[in-house]
Each structure stands twice: as structure tokens, then as C-alpha cells.
């Protein structure tokens, strides 16, 4: 399995706390978040890892120096979304089973073990314990993704998407073809996940619920504080 991590964006909702640094480089107790993620993946045998870079890419390169990861740069990160960042890495996104995740996501080690043990493909992951506070919402009766979006309400919410999916080797050429079609239609302002969502009518997109396991996506300072509390460390002054 290979891993592709999206880390090109600025993170505007938490940017005022970051002094210009990408949010995936926040300190989570003596180690930047993205370095923690890369080291954890490698410790689980996922050794072929690539990142999509854009905003302040040197800061990420610095904290990952010596890890052997590959980098793909989206020079248009400020006017596109993550589908464009994935497009620049389309050659990497083939040839093996693929884990794709957003770089601002913190995964507890126990949760990563659970994710990597999942056999269903293609599969996205969601947390059924987070409905009322969910940011991006999924509706997945019987474990199949039927509805998705920030606007879902009430009984149309099964859980919150956690920012990660697993895909089989034979699925990825279809993913890349669909991504090429969307880019050709100038749909470069959507997320990489929209490529998967566009396939829900023709393919079964599975969802595995990870409720009871710790994860966090660093969108707001409260998310960052949740990570620090989970790790038993105090927030340092951000420089």
C-alpha cells in the first residue's frame, strides 16, 4: 500500500494562530503533526509516501527532511482545491492499493491499525459519534455512502467524515480517469473526495464507522487543543 497526503492548503480557519506556517506542521508535543503521521505510517509498513505541497511548502519539506517521502507541488494552490493537488500527483496515484488522507488529520495509532486492517474497497471513514458537531457529514445506511455534504441535517446524518479513504489498486485508474474528466471541465475548485463522490451512483462506496477511536482534523484551535489533551501535553506559544 502507498499513501498520498494532501498538504497544499493554507488552513484559513486556524491561520491566525499559525504565524504563516501550514497547519499540518503544528506541534503536537515535540513533533510536528505531519512528521508524526509520516513516521506512524512508515512504522506500519506504509513506506511509499507522497505529499501534495503548495502553501509555504518549505516549512513542510524541512520537518520531513530525511524521511524519503516524495513531493508533488501544486503551484496554483491559492486558486484551486485539493483535486488539483491530486492531479499533479496522478502518476503516483496508481500501481498499488492507496491510502489518501488530508494532512491536517491526526490519527491515534490504534485507529490507524483499525483503518489499515479494513478489507473493503473503496472505503471512506466516518465517526458516528459526531453528528451534531460534524463539519462534513455522511449518510451511510448499511455502510454504503448515499449522501454527503456540509448541509445535511437531522436523519440524513450518520456520522462525520474523518478525512481519509482506502482504495484498491484496480480502482485507482478509474479514479484518475474521473479526476482528469473533472479537471478538463474546469472543476478544479473541489476536493479530491469529490472524485470519489461522483462515483457513488455507479459504484458502491463503502463507509466504515470508527466511533470510539480518537482522531481530529485541525480546522479550528479547539481541534488542536483536543489533540494536545489526548496526548497529555500543553499548548506552547505558537511562533
Q: Given this model, what pLDDT does residue 38 score? A: 98
Q: How confident is the model at residue 36, as a pLDDT?
A: 98
pLDDT band at 92 (very low <50, low <70, confident <90, very high): very high
Residue 129: per-residue pLDDT:
96
- Count of domains in the chain? 1
Q: Is 187:196 a contact under the CB 8 Å cutoff?
A: no
Q: pLDDT at position 234, please?
A: 86
Q: Which residues contact 193 (CB under 8 A, 6 or more apart)?
A: 82, 124, 161, 165
175 domain residue, yes or no? yes
Mean pLDDT value across the chain: 95
CATH number of residue 128's parent domain: 3.90.550.10
For residue 14, the enclosing domain spans: 2-231
Residue 236 in any domain: the answer is no
- Going by pLDDT thresholds of 50, 70 and 90, the confidence category of residue 10 is confident
What is the C-alpha separation between 18 and 14, in angstroms, rounded? 7
Q: Tell me whether residue 238 is in a domain.
A: no
How many other CB atoms are found less than 10 A from the CB of residue 135?
A: 14
Give the rounded percent of residues in the chain with a pLDDT score beyond 90: 88
* 124 within 8 A of 197, measured Cβ to Cβ: no
Q: What pLDDT is stored for residue 235 in this prediction?
A: 80
pLDDT at 208 over 80: yes
CA distance readout (Å), 40 to 34, 37, 102, 116, 207: 10, 5, 15, 12, 23
Q: Identify the three-state secondary structure at position 72.
A: strand
Amino acid at each position: 500500500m502507498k499513501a498520498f497526503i494532501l498538504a497544499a492548503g493554507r488552513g484559513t480557519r486556524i491561520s491566525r494562530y499559525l504565524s504563516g506556517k501550514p497547519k499540518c506542521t503544528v506541534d503536537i508535543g515535540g513533533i510536528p503533526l505531519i512528521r508524526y503521521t509520516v513516521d506512524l505510517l512508515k512504522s506500519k509498513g506504509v513506506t511509499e509516501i507522497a505529499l501534495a505541497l503548495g502553501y509555504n511548502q518549505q516549512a513542510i519539506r524541512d520537518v520531513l527532511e530525511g524521511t524519503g517521502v516524495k513531493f508533488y507541488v501544486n503551484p496554483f494552490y491559492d486558486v484551486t482545491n485539493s483535486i488539483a493537488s491530486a492531479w499533479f500527483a496522478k502518476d503516483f496515484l496508481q500501481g498499488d492499493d492507496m491510502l489518501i488522507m488530508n494532512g491536517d488529520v491526526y490519527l491515534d495509532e490504534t485507529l490507524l491499525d483499525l483503518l489499515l486492517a479494513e478489507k473493503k474497497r473503496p472505503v471512506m471513514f466516518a465517526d458516528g459519534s459526531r453528528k451534531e458537531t460534524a463539519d462534513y457529514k455522511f449518510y451511510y445506511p448499511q455502510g454504503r455512502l448515499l449522501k454527503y455534504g456540509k448541509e445535511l441535517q437531522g436523519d440524513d446524518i450518520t456520522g462525520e467524515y474523518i478525512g481519509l479513504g482506502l482504495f484498491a489498486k484496480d480502482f485507482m485508474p478509474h479514479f484518475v480517469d474521473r479526476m482528469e474528466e473533472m479537471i478538463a471541465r474546469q472543476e478544479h475548485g473541489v476536493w479530491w473526495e469529490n472524485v470519489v463522490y461522483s462515483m457513488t451512483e455507479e459504484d458502491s462506496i463503502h463507509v466504515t464507522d470508527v466511533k470510539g477511536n480518537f482522531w481530529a482534523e485541525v480546522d479550528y484551535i479547539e481541534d488542536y487543543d483536543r489533540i494536545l489533551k489526548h496526548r497529555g501535553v500543553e499548548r506552547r506559544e505558537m511562533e
